[in-house]
Amino acid sequence: MVHSRRILIVEDEQDLADMLVYNLKKAGFQPFCAHDGPSAVQAALASTPDLIILDLMLPGLPGTEVARQVRTHPRTSKVPILMLTARADESDQVAGLSVGADDYVTKPFSMKVLLARVTALLRRVGGEVTGGASVRVGSLSADLAAHTVSVDGVEAKLTLTEFKLLVALMQAPKRVLSRNDLISRVMGPGIVVTARTIDVHIAALRKKLGSCGGMIRTIRGVGYQLTEEVGSPDPASSEIA
């Protein structure tokens, strides 16, 4: 469960970039750098980091434009962005947030503050599943704090991924979620999986849910849907949506 989060640092001031790399490494992250706008966009798209620390004033392309491009691309649209701005200029901060930065830190900043913001942002993104109470659909019930699922009151032993998948479906009952929806809800940014991986997890999940397995329906060519009725899980073919 503990893997080191990959953080893209976009900063043209070499000293500051080095200091960020040093401190993020020390805090257990896996930082890597880009030093201008265009290579920042390239690096983000090529490696889908878990978080981007983005300086606003950059050669080649301003930080706001980098943020806009990162937000536009489906692969990186949900990667949290922490913007670095100049203290004096409040309009910079507004500009940064309006193009999709999640938070900003003004220069000069203390490493302590920066690390706290990074950690908070990562927690916010990774924590969708925790914090609520419980969800219930038909005979299925999920306890979001305890990370447990029960079928007719009997606990089903799920992996974390299976649990998150099921909760994503339970939180959107009757809605059809595409495999890409599920990937982004379950895997979080920075983890590259194929749609086929989702099919495999769903197949395993159905088995573990026993009599409730049929509540997860395959909508061919689209994705998956959770219904209250137990149907035949995949009417026509295998688990492939």
Q: Which residues in this chain contact Ca ion in the complex, by CB under 5 A?
A: 12, 55, 57
Which residue has its beta carbon closest to Ca ion? 57
Residue 95 beta carbon to Ca ion: minimum distance, rounded to whole angstroms: 15
DSSP per residue, 69-81: HHHHSTTTTT--E
Report the phi/psi class of residue 83: left, alpha or beta, with left for phi > 0 and alpha for psi in -120 to 50. Answer: beta
Q: Please, what sign has the CA dihedral across residues 69, 197, 209, 3?
A: negative
Count of Cβ atoms closer than 10 Å to residue 124 Cβ: 12
Nearer to Ca ion, 57 or 120 (CB): 57
CA distance 110 to 116: 10
Nearer to Ca ion, 54 or 177 (CB): 54
Residue 84 beta carbon to Ca ion: minimum distance, rounded to whole angstroms: 8
Burial of 57 (0-12, 13-18, 19+ CB in 10 A): middle
CA distance 109 to 219: 50
Nearer to Ca ion, 38 or 214 (CB): 38
Residue 10 beta carbon to Ca ion: minimum distance, rounded to whole angstroms: 9
Residue 43 beta carbon to Ca ion: minimum distance, rounded to whole angstroms: 16
Nearer to Ca ion, 9 or 125 (CB): 9
Nearer to Ca ion, 55 or 162 (CB): 55
Task: Kindly give, in sequence order, each residue whose CB lies less than 8 Å from that of residue 192, ignoring residues fewer than 6 positions away.
Answer: 48
Residue 53 beta carbon to Ca ion: minimum distance, rounded to whole angstroms: 12
Residue 118 beta carbon to Ca ion: minimum distance, rounded to whole angstroms: 18
Nearer to Ca ion, 12 or 65 (CB): 12
**54 backbone dihedrals φ, ψ, rounded to 5°:** -125, 115
Instruction: Provide the token pair at 14.
Output: 């070499």
Nearer to Ca ion, 55 or 239 (CB): 55
Residue 122 beta carbon to Ca ion: minimum distance, rounded to whole angstroms: 23
Three-state DSSP class for 111? helix
- Which of the 8 DSSP states describes residue 213? G
